[in-house]
Amino acid sequence: MSTGSADAKRVTTHTLQEMKSGGVPIAMLTAYDYSLARLVDAAGIDVILVGDSASNVMAGHETTLPITLDQMIYHAGAVVRGCQRALIVVDLPFGTYQGNTKGALNSAIRIMKESGAHAVKLEGGREVIGSVERILTAGIPVMGHLGLTPQSIYKFGTYVVRAKEEMEAQRLREDAKLLEEAGCFALVLEKIPARLAEEVAKSVSIPVIGIGAGGGVDGQVLVLHDMLGINKEFNPRFLRRYADLHTVISDAVGGYVRDVRSKDFPSAKEQY
């Protein structure tokens, strides 16, 4: 079977396992469209998550709950077309995997078949183990997600740090083990105390990627629009901004409007 030259350098779940073993931190970002995914991939990211945060940053919804499977597949297909190297993981959206293992398998198969992505991610521990196991029977790699799980926002009622109390921390430790034993290839830990995240990362053999979970884990993930500074309103402590695209884009658009109004644009050189 020919794998093609681009495939030769492709990051795989195996690569991530080797990175964990070798102590090389894994860099992961979200992306939802062709143009930005292409840039992110070319800049050397290891994993691109087509997150259901698309519901917030792309569609303007307040939560991640409304995004549909068809919409996730649309975003994932665009990202896949823009990437040559990164491992592409796609979130199973709310309502497509909980409480119905056959439905979970069908959702995951649709993502893989229709988008060309490489793995799926889902939120939760013991309550979704049946779905994780069933998806894995089809040979689809699964990434777990514990801690703050935004699809359960109406259960939590708030986006504050999770697992600060011992009972919840213990449940999280057990769920991480269950996900590892079920066969997940990696785990995202969102917004939990750094000490707990480090302990979990040391206790499981699979890579643990943190967001708001400190530096003691095996890698980091951020939402692309947040780290590029497109959203000014979202200011959690864990977010480091690497650019101020809000200002760059606002200034560029403002300049264009001014030039159109003053008829400075187009100039003689910019017409036929």
Phi/psi zone of residue 23: left (φ > 0), alpha (ψ -120 to 50 degrees), beta? left
CA distance 161 to 52: 20
**How many other CB atoms are found less than 10 A from the CB of residue 220?**
19
Among positions 221, 227, 228, 230, the unique one binding ligand KIV when judged by CB under 6 A: 221
Smallest distance, ligand KIV to C-beta of residue 116, A: 19
- Output the smallest distance, CB 8 to ligand KIV, in A: 28
Determine which helix (DSSP H) or strand (DSSP E) holds 19, and give its type and residue range: helix 13-22
Give yes or no for residue 223 binding ligand KIV (CB under 6 A).
Answer: yes
Identify whether 233 is a catalytic site residue.
no
Q: Which residues pair with 126 in a beta bridge?
A: none
Binding letters toward ligand KIV, positions 30-69, x by CB under 6 A: x------------------x-xxx----------------
Is the previous residue joined to 236 through a cis bond, with omega within 30 degrees of 0? no
Q: Which residue is nearest to ligand KIV (CB)?
A: 51
Instruction: State which residue, 52 or 198, has the beta carbon closest to ligand KIV.
Output: 52
Distance of alpha carbon 174 from its chain centroid, rounded?
23
Min. distance of Cβ 211 from ligand KIV in angstroms? 5
* Contacting residue, 184, 211, 227, 230, with ligand KIV by CB under 6 A: 211
- The yes or no reply on residue 115 touching ligand KIV (CB under 6 A) is no
Residue 178: C-alpha distances to residues 67, 124, 125, 142, 175 (Å) = 28, 11, 7, 13, 5
Cite the active site residues. Answer: 190
Binding site for ligand KIV (CB under 6 A): 30, 49, 51-53, 91, 188, 190, 211, 221, 223
